[in-house]
Amino acid sequence: MPLHHQSEESSQLDITNVTLRRGPHTVFDQLTLHLNEPRIGLIGDNGAGKSSLFRMICGLDIPQSGTVTVRGLDTREVSSKRPGMVGMMFQNPDDQIIFPTVEEELALSLSPTGVSRKEALTQARAFLQTRGLSHWSARTIASLSQGQRQHVCWLALLVASPALMLLDEPFASLDLPGQARLHRDIAQASQQVIVSTHLLEHVNTFERVIWLDQGRVRGDGPGSDICAAYRADVLARATEPTPPEL
Ligand SMILES: Nc1ncnc2c1ncn2[C@@H]1O[C@H](COP(=O)(O)OP(=O)(O)O)[C@@H](O)[C@H]1O
Ligand SMILES: [Mg+2]
Ligand 1, residues 18, 27, 42, 58: which to mutate, most atoms within 8 A of Cβ?
Answer: 27
pLDDT of residue 2: 41
Q: How many domains is the chain built from?
A: 1
Pairs from 70-74 (Cβ < 8 Å, separation ≥ 24): 70/12, 70/13, 70/164, 71/12, 71/13, 71/163, 71/164, 72/10
Instruction: Answer whether residue 133 is part of any domain.
Output: yes
Residue 114 lies in a domain: yes
Query: Max alpha carbon distance in the chain (Å)?
Result: 62
Stretch 71-96: mean pLDDT = 90
Q: Is the pLDDT of residue 3 over 50?
A: no
In a domain? residue 135: yes
Cα-based angle 39, 111, 116 (whole degrees, multiple of 5):
140
Alpha-carbon torsion 219, 41, 149, 159, what sign?
positive
Residue 79: pLDDT band with limits 50, 70, 90:
confident
128 within some domain: yes
CA distance 185 to 183: 6
**Is 130 inside a domain boundary?**
yes
**Domain-located, residue 141:** yes
The answer to whether residue 58 is domain-embedded is no
> Does residue 81 contact residue 73 with C-beta atoms inside 8 Å?
yes
Q: Is 48 in the pocket of ligand 1 (CB under 6 A)?
A: yes
What contacts 24+ positions apart, CB below 8 Å, involve 185-188?
185/154, 185/158, 186/39
Region 155-168: mean pLDDT is 95
Atom of ligand 1 nearest to the CA of 46: 23
Assess whether pLDDT exceeds 80 at residue 140: yes
CB distance 27 to ligand 1 below 6 Å? yes
Residue 131 lies in a domain: yes
Q: Is the CB of 42 under 6 A from ligand 1?
A: no
Domain housing 127: 100-161
Question: Sorting pLDDT into bands at 50, 70 and 90, what band is 126?
Answer: very high
Q: What is the mean pLDDT of residues 35-46?
A: 97
The number of the ligand nearest the C-alpha atom of 42 reads 1
As a whole number, mean pLDDT of residues 51-59 equals: 96
Arithmetic mean of pLDDT, 201-225: 98
| CB 22 less than 6 A from any atom of ligand 1 | yes
